[in-house]
Amino acid sequence: MEQIKTKSAIKVLKINVVPAIIGFLLSSAHLTDAVLPFGTALLCAVPKSIRKSCFLGVLLASFFDPCILLSLFCAVYLFCVLTAKEKNGGVFLYTRILLSLSLSALRAAYIAINGINGINDIFVLLAAVISYPALTFAFYGYFDRKRELRPKRYDMALLALAFSFTLVLVPFEIGNTSLAVCVGALFTLCAARTRGFGFGGACGIICGIACGGEAMGAFGVLGMAYGLLATEIEPLALVLSYMLAVSGYFYLSGGEGVAAFAVLLLGVYVVFALFRKRLPIHRTAVATAEKRAHDRRISRYAAAFSSLSSLFYTVSDSTAETKITDLNQKIVGCVENHCSRCNGCELDKSEVSNFFTSEIRRTGVAAYSRIPTHISSRCPNVCAMAREINNIQTSRAREGEKGLKQMADEYSAFSSILIDAAKKQDENSKTDKSLAKDIKTSLASLGVESDGVKVVGARLREVTVFGVKPDKIKASPNEIAQAVASELKTSVSAPDIVLHDGYHLMKLHSIPSFRVECAKISEAKENESVCGDTVSVFENEDKYFYCLVSDGMGSGRDAALTSRLAAIMLEKLLSVGAEKESAIKLLNKALVEKQEEIFATVDLLELDRINSRATLIKAGAAPTLLIRNGKTTVIESRTPPAGIMRNVIAEKKSFPLLKGDMIVMLSDGILQTGSERPILPEKGLPPMPSARALASKIIREARKSCETADDMSVCVLRIY
């Protein structure tokens, strides 16, 4: 009996009290001056069951509107018209939008009557005209009974509600930081958990716009990072998203208010951690055990992001600690320099230094008018000190802008890698109905009848044939594989028959079209113990085979360190599936940001073993040789090495591969004799028994000609 009474009380609360509170809160949120559309739009969108309660909340909030009479009239007019329409057969969406348009016209007329004195007033007028119908349309998506058929409209409604509730707390601050960041962060975390990282990032940006420009970038990264990693390692997702959000806010705000932001955000995370398990996880983000075993790229991205985020956070802390101490040291030096020109001054130098330091910290400028009289009257150099200290502050501001740009570049680079990862995941789960239909027809021509065919993936494809009858299949496994391969335009595995609950499935998947034999040889420059070149070969899970030749600046250990840095960074990024261009941009940034001047050539070859295609990316690298049917083709480019320019210039060339091809990649040391004669003849090259034989021949010829005047490296790949 008591349980029934409790449920009844909760139901009454939901129908009567909660809508009234929500209506009051949203009616109090300001979009701009004199424009408060949220409560009215909500009243226009809610269903009949909660309209009265919502109306009471909006009506009460009208007394806090700058124009009380207009707000009261709009609320009463809207409630009366909606109630009358409800009695005559219901209220359709277009009726609600027309009503909201009439209210926006009234609000716009009120603004126009008060006078339009500048461009800001014009924007306020436009906001009044657009916001009422737009928000009505958005809010209606939340209450629409057919929202399952219109998921995009429902998503829009959730974003609009998150934006509205975040605006409610904008006027309230702690430590110069709005309390709206608490609501915005909580909405972002909930959105990322329940609807995926894409929606979480969008919700973060929307809530960040409501909170202010600095929070927009921080919340956007927070939503994407948590949503992307929550289904893999949730504790890591919480820690990593928090660190990224705080470090992003630090750089975007220049350090102002970051402590209060960090504390408020930590409180939100504590609250969210307590009830997060009650929230459903986005269903498309939950992978089966088979899918997890097949693709673990996201967990590897999580580990990489964890390391890199820790680095950013450490840099943020060290920067914050050194800013004030560096400033104080420079001001002390400036005061000492000027005071050394005077003899017998009675002023305390520490007092002068501390005054200027506090002024710069408080106002950002050392103003002559605020210099105490007992200092300005006794010190003839105080004005010169102020000018020099202001110049110091200007230089620091420029450095801060440079650091902000660097942080923006870093986030841009990592966001591009995340976008690449998301695209590849979408490709791996994409179904091709047209291709499935063609394969079913092709198999039927071989006598293989089935209930249907499913093709998953855009490059690495998995083909599942449903409802086959093994005892009636007359075609050989090779014939079936060839028929499917002709439709996919790639090689496929032999068919595998699987029995599942008395139902037979036939499965095939893409396999590499060729194999690669590799041989690499490196020799150090004469009188050097270490070769400055690095040759790296590896393959990732997507069946991309890579060969990288990097030549560091100079020779010996310094050159080796530079080339190995390039090789390791590219190998790690490419191994987890990053795009080549994004990986090289990150490498270039790492080299450019080093304090000492270092650079390295990048000669990257990608062999697509599924589609039989090669792609070369060169940045300051030596030419590459393609040997096909005894003929040698030189592939070269004239671009600077990585690390010289802020924006890397790399040339990309692609060509199809045939079995029997040999590709020769070289460092500059091999080509020192290139002006005298070519490394290999253009025609008539005798067949080589192996890649090792050709690599040995090239290194012998180069050694005879140039006597290892520079580091020499050669890598030969044979396609078979």
Q: What is the pLDDT of residues 312-344, one digit of tens each?
A: 444 444 444 445 566 777 888 888 777 777 766
- Are residues 243 and 268 located together in one domain of the fold? yes
Q: Which residue has the higher pLDDT, 561 or 147?
A: 561
Residues 6 or more apart whose Cβ sits within 8 Å of residue 646: 588, 592
Domain membership of residue 80 (yes or no) is yes
For residue 306, is pLDDT > 90?
A: no
Nearest to 589, CA basis, from 334, 405, 352, 370: 405
Task: Print burial letters for 300-315: b (CB count within 10 Å at least 16), e (below 16).
Answer: bbbebbbeebeebbeb
Amino acid occupying residue 135 = L
At residue 370, the pLDDT reads 79
Q: Are 639 and 650 in contact (CB under 8 A)?
A: yes
Instruction: Among 509, 542, 565, identify where a domain stops.
Output: 509
- From 651, 647, 639, 667, select the one nearest 553 (Cα to Cα): 667
Question: What values do phi and psi take at 531, rounded to 5?
Answer: -80, 130
Please state the rounded mean pLDDT for residues 457-477. Answer: 89
Contacts of 261 (CB under 8 A, 6+ apart): 177, 181, 215, 218, 246, 249, 253
**Percent of the chain predicted with pLDDT > 70:** 81
Q: Are residues 714 and 570 in the same domain?
A: yes
Q: What six digits make up the tokens of 254? A: 């220049």
Asked if pLDDT for residue 130 goes beyond 50, the answer is yes
Same-domain pairing of 543 and 639: yes
Q: Could you report the per-residue pLDDT of 249-277, keeping only the tens digit for each?
A: 887 777 777 888 889 999 999 999 888 88
pLDDT in tens, 532-566: 888 999 998 889 999 999 887 766 777 778 788 88
Question: By the 8 A CB rule, do 156 and 236 touch?
Answer: no
- What is the average per-residue pLDDT within 658-684? 77
* b/e per residue 462-495 (b: at least 16 CB within 10 A): bbbbeebeeeebebeeebbbebbbebbebbbbeb
Query: Residue 651: pLDDT above 50?
Result: yes
Please give the average per-residue pLDDT across 197-219, as a whole number.
86
Instruction: Please give the Cα distance from 520 to 541 (Å, whole number).
Output: 23
**299 inside domain:** no
Q: Are residues 444 and 555 in the same domain?
A: no
d(CA 507, CA 104): 60
> Are 718 and 513 a contacting pair, CB within 8 Å?
no
Q: What HEC string does 594-607 produce?
A: CCCCCCECEEEEEE
Any idea which of 118-122, 299-303, 599-603 has the lowest mean pLDDT? 299-303
Cβ-contact 500, 468 below 8 angstroms: no
Q: Of the candidates 221, 225, 226, which has an alpha carbon nearest to the alpha carbon of residue 207?
A: 221
| Residue 298 domain flag | no
* Residue 392 and residue 464 share a domain: no
- Looking at the DSSP bridge assignments, the partners of residue 551 are 533
Would residue 561 count as lying in a domain?
Answer: yes
User: Which H helix or E strand runs over 508?
Assistant: strand 503-509
Q: Are 614 and 655 in contact (CB under 8 A)?
A: yes
Q: Largest alpha-carbon pair distance within the chain?
A: 111
Can you spell out the DSSP letters for 135-187? HHHHHHHHH-TTGGG-HHHHHHHHHHHHHHHHHHTTT-EETTEETHHHHHHHH
Q: Please say which residue of 373, 397, 428 terminates a domain.
A: 428
Q: Answer with the one of 509, 525, 549 that is the final residue of a domain.
A: 509
Considering the domain boundaries, does residue 145 fall inside one?
yes
* Range with the largest mean pLDDT of 362-366, 477-481, 559-563: 477-481
The pLDDT value recorded for residue 658 is 94
State the Cα–Cα distance between residues 668 and 551, nearest whole angstrom.
Answer: 8
468, 608: one domain: no
**What number of H helices and E strands is found in the chain?**
22, 16
| Nearest residue to 261 via CA among 373, 343, 182, 357 | 182
The whole-chain average pLDDT of the chain stands at 80
What residues pair up with 453 in beta bridges, in sequence order? 465
In a shared domain, residues 442 and 423: no
- What 269-278 contacts at long range (C-beta under 8 Å, 24+ apart), as own/partner pairs, is 269/185, 269/189, 269/238, 269/242, 271/186, 272/186, 272/189, 272/190, 273/238, 276/189, 276/193, 276/234
- What's the confidence (pLDDT) of residue 293? 39
673 in the same domain as 562: yes
**Shared-domain flag, residues 384 and 250:** no
**Residue 161: inside a domain, yes or no?**
no
Cα three-residue angle 157-298-540, rounded to 5 degrees: 140
Which amino acid appears at position 706 of this protein? C
**Which of 1-5, 23-27, 253-257, 507-511 comes out lowest in average pLDDT?**
1-5
Domain hosting 279: range is 169-286
Determine the residue type at 162: A
Pair 558, 695 in one domain: yes
Residue 141 pLDDT greater than 80, yes or no: yes
Return d(Cα 455, Cα 464) in angstroms, integer.
Answer: 7
Residue 669 CB partners (closer than 8 Å, separation 6+): 525, 533, 551, 702, 706, 708, 709, 710, 711, 712, 713
Look at residue 597 and tell me if it is in a domain. Answer: yes
Q: Which of 564, 480, 492, 481 is nearest to 522 (CA)?
A: 564
564 with 536: CB under 8 angstroms? no
Q: Check: CB of residue 608 under 8 Å from CB of residue 615.
A: yes
How sure is the predictor about 500, in pLDDT bands with cuts at 50, 70 and 90? low
User: Of 415 and 678, which is predicted with more confidence?
Assistant: 678
pTM: 0.51
Higher pLDDT, 320 or 717: 717
Evaluate the CA torsion angle 196, 201, 206, 208 in order and state its sign.
positive
Does residue 7 form part of some domain?
no
pLDDT at position 668 over 50: yes
Residue 514 has φ and ψ, to the nearest 5°, of -155, 170
Please give the helix or strand (H or E) that residue 453 lies within, else none: strand 452-456
Same domain, 455 and 346: no
Q: E-strand spans in 4-90? A: none
Report how many domains make up the chain.
5
Report which DSSP code applies to 524. Answer: P
Same domain, 107 and 200: no
